Amino acid sequence: MGFIEHIPGTRPIPIPERHPESKGVGVLGLHEGRTLLLAMERCSSVHAVAGCDLNEEKLAASKGERPDLFFTPKYEEMLGRDDVDLVAIYTPDAHHGDHICKAFEAGKDVIVTKPIVNSLEDAARILETGRRCGRRLLVGQSSRFFEPFQRQRRDLEGGKFGGLCGIELVDAHYIHRMDWYYRKSPWATTETDWAFLGMSHPVDLVRWYLGRVAEVSAYGRTSAMGAEHGLVGRDIYVVNLTTEDGRIGRAMGHYGCHELPRARNCIELMLYASGGTSLAQYHDMRYVHSGPAGGPAVPTGFDPAEMAEVVEDYLYAGRQYYFNSEVHGMHYGEFANYAEYFGRSLIDGTDASPGLEEGVETYCVMEAVKRSAQRRKPVAIAPLLKEVGL
Ligand SMILES: NC(=O)c1ccc[n+]([C@@H]2O[C@H](COP(=O)([O-])OP(=O)(O)OC[C@H]3O[C@@H](n4cnc5c(N)ncnc54)[C@H](O)[C@@H]3O)[C@@H](O)[C@H]2O)c1
């Protein structure tokens, strides 16, 4: 067994043995997609075979890092290759629909980064094309696949804190200063909206726990930073969500703020359940939950299960796997985790979440967020689901 280049002072990442039915992956869009291209060394059920980008510099940079792979600026050329089983899409939001449909038509399964799509037409189109071509899709909801969020989920699924049925309130946010992003990716100011680009994280996290959302009530506005960069939509959102049976959640986003990362991580998921409370954080890689703490009870008269706030911190152990010891916040580990999970589900023929239908449903919730903020009225999800064919 080999190891990914080892950075002293960190835990080495083993290169796992390749599964005999491992899926060949072609990556489209080599900025954020470059992360997956490199991260697949951590996987056994998928392996990188090709990369594609219109931009020659991006192509050359990835080629320099993986000279063994096939690179092209032409998407059709990558889709035509027999060794590409699976296409992973990391192009600007507004192009996802087109790129997903082309992959389905070419007989490929798809990983698409969040947000799955950002228009009603594209949502209907990918659903129809995926069903007609019999292909599968996973939305790369990176937050779900980060260490603390995985552990939090496993605890709830295992019945801790009253289990999934015991959840009484879901509270998620994604806040991030984004002026740097407008300079790097000008499409973010005019071709999408933060209801999709940013809110895809907290909305997906809330939906992950609440199930099908029935109605949203959202407020939104544009920050001074957003306006300064010519943002056409809103970059501040506060959203309340509810299900048919009255369970409730809250999602919040701010993309023109001055951050206080020590006080509040950029992505957090707080679950208030009947038997306890838990918090997963990105990117400090902490999982915080109510007790019990380790060791025997001391005779104070308090129940140790109720008084302890347990902090599990994976940053030091996990930073090479998740961040490649680069900037605090790169996505190597999460991307590897979801690619491995999807590859495994394709090999075993099992379901993977969030898949095509769930992803389109979450798109409808984000669309409702945008409409609710525009109209200053609650918006029901059912008519949108019907319109896209769900
Ligand atoms: N946490 C996450 O999962 C995460 C983080 C950041 C970005 N994203 C998502 O990833 C996507 C890309 O974001 P980014 O920051 O990399 O944007 P970017 O603008 O930096 O990069 C997009 C790349 O796609 C290429 N491209 C565009 N059209 C193409 C085409 N037709 N064929 C080939 N290449 C094409 C561009 O040349 C560019 O290199 C967005 O949808 C964004 O929302 C997800």
pLDDT at 304 over 70: no
Residue 2 pLDDT > 70, yes or no?
Answer: no
Residue extents of the structural domains in the chain: 2-142, 144-318+357-384
Helix axes 96-105, 120-133, angle to 10 degrees: 10
CATH 2.60.40.650 fits 144-318+357-384, yes or no: no
CA gap 266, 207 in Å, rounded: 19
Burial 139-170 (b: 16+ CB within 10 A, else e): bbbbbbbbbbbebbbebbeeebbeeeebbeeb
pLDDT at position 329: 75
Contact present, 152 and 273 (Cβ < 8 Å): no
Q: Distance between alpha carbon 67 and the CA centroid of its chain, in Å?
A: 28
Q: State whether the beta carbon of 91 lies less than 6 angstroms from ligand 1.
A: yes
For residue 230, report the phi and psi dihedrals to the nearest 5 degrees. Answer: 75, 25
Q: Please indicate whether residue 200, judged by its CB atom, sits closer than 6 Å to ligand 1.
A: no
Residue 296 has pLDDT above 90, yes or no: no
Picking from 81-95, 136-150, 327-341, 352-366, which range would have the lowest pLDDT averaged per residue?
327-341
Residue 14 has pLDDT above 70, yes or no: yes
Residue 1: per-residue pLDDT = 52
User: Under DSSP, is residue 349 helix (H, G, I), strand (E, B) or coil?
Assistant: coil
| pLDDT digit string, tens, across residues 238-275 | 999 999 999 999 999 999 999 998 899 999 999 999 99
Task: Give the mean pLDDT of 3-17.
Answer: 69
- In this prediction, residue 308 carries a pLDDT of 80
In percent, the amount of the chain with pLDDT more than 90 equals 86
Measured CA to CA, the distance from residue 36 to residue 51 in angstroms comes to 10
The residue whose CA has the least distance to atom 40 of ligand 1 is 92
What is the whole-number distance in angstroms between the Cα of residue 210 and the centre of ligand 1?
29
Does pLDDT of 177 surpass 90? yes
Task: Look at residue 134 and give its three-state secondary structure.
Answer: coil
Using a 10 angstrom Cβ sphere, with 0-12 exposed, 13-18 middle and 19 or more buried, the burial of residue 173 is buried
Which pLDDT score is estimated for 65? 96
Q: Pick one of 1.10.1840.10, 3.40.109.10, 3.40.50.720, 2.40.50.180 as the CATH number of 2-142.
A: 3.40.50.720
Helix 332-348 / helix 32-39 crossing angle, nearest 10 deg: 60
Of the listed ranges 140-154, 294-308, 315-329, 368-382, the least confidently predicted one is 294-308
The pLDDT score that the predictor gives to residue 298 is 67
Whether 197 is in the pocket of ligand 1, judged by its Cβ within 6 Å, is yes
- Percent of the chain past pLDDT 70, that is, above it, reads 93
Place of tokens 């909801």: 141
Length, in residues, of the chain? 390
- Any atom of ligand 1 within 6 Å of the Cβ of 63: no
Check whether 8 has a pLDDT greater than 60: no
Q: Identify the pLDDT of residue 316.
A: 85
Residue 38 predicted with pLDDT over 70:
yes
Q: Could you tell me how far CA 336 lies from the centroid of its own chain?
A: 12
* Integer Cα distance of 370 and 218 in angstroms: 8
Query: Is the predicted pLDDT of residue 34 greater than 90, yes or no?
Result: yes
> What amino acid occupies position 195?
A
Instruction: Indicate if ligand 1 lies below 6 Å from the C-beta of 264.
Output: no
What is the mean pLDDT of the segment spanning 355-382? 98
